[in-house]
Amino acid sequence: MAVCIAVIAKENYPLYIRSVPTQNELKFHYTVHTSLDVVEEKISAVGKSIGDQRELYLGLLYPTEDYKVYGYVTNSKVKFVIVVDSSNTSLRDNEIRSMFRKLHNSFTDVMCNPFHNPGDSIQSKAFDGIVSGMMVQTG
Partner 1 sequence: MESLTLSDVEQKYYSDLFVYCDTDNTKKVASNGRVLDLFRAAQLPSEVVLQITELCGATRLGHFGRSQFYIALKLIAIAQSGLPLRVESLNSVKDLPLPRFVVGKNEAEARHAALYQDTDSQGLYPAPGAAVIPRPPGRGHQNKKGPPSSTSLPVHEVIQPLAPNIEPQPEPTSPVVSPHQSPPTSPHSWRKHKRQHSGGNADRQPVVAATGAVWTQFREPQTGPVTGDGMWSSHSPPPPGQESWVSFTADTPPSSTLPAMHPSSVQESTTIRTVASAATTNEIQRQSSTYDDPWKITDEQRQYYINQFKTIQPDLTGFIPGSAAKEFFTKSKLPILELSHIWELSDFDKDGALTLDEFCAAFHLVVARKNGYDLPEKLPESLMPKLIDLDDSAEVPEPTADVGYSASPVEVTPNKSPSMPSLNQAWPEMNQSNEQWETFSERSSSSQTLTQFDSNIAPADPDTAIVHPVPIRMTPSKIHMQEMELKRTGSDHNHPTSPLLTKPPELSEEAKLPASMKFVAANTVGDGYSSSDSFTSDQEPITRQRSQSGTSPEALKVVAPPPPPPRPHPSHSRSSSLDMNRTFAATSATGQPQPSTIAYPPAVPPRPLPTQTSVPLTGHRVEAEGVPGGGAVLTTTSPQQIPQQPNFADFSQFQAFAASEQPSSLPEVDKHSEAGQVDKTSEGAGPLRTVKSDGQADERASATVNSTKGSSGPLAPPPKPVRRRLKSEDELRPEDEQHGPQKSNVIAAVLATQPSIPRSVGKDKKAIQASIRRNKETNTVLARLNSELQQQLKDLLEERISLEVQLEQLRPFSHL
Which of 13, 26, 92, 137 forms a contact with partner 1 (CB under 8 A)? 92
Q: Is 114 in the site for partner 1 (CB under 8 A)?
A: yes
Which of 25, 97, 134, 136 forms a contact with partner 1 (CB under 8 A)? 97
Identity at 85, one-letter amino acid code: D
Which of 22, 64, 108, 132 forms a contact with partner 1 (CB under 8 A)? 108
Cα–Cα distance measured from residue 2 to residue 62, given in angstroms and rounded to the nearest whole number: 15
Which of 13, 26, 115, 137 forms a contact with partner 1 (CB under 8 A)? 115
Q: Exposed/middle/buried for 74, CB within 10 Å: 0-12, 13-18, 19+?
A: middle
**Residues 6-35 interacting with partner 1 (rule: CB under 8 A):** none
Which of 44, 53, 87, 137 forms a contact with partner 1 (CB under 8 A)? 53
Name which of 77, 81, 72, 100 is nearest 7 in CA terms: 81
Taking the least distance from each CB to partner 1, the nearer of 94 and 137 is 94
Name which of 11, 116, 63, 109 is nearest 71 in CA terms: 63
Cα–Cα distance measured from residue 23 to residue 128, given in angstroms and rounded to the nearest whole number: 19
Applying CB under 8 A, the residues found at the interface with partner 1 are 48-49, 52-57, 59-60, 74-75, 92-94, 96-98, 100-101, 104-105, 108-109, 111-118, 123-126
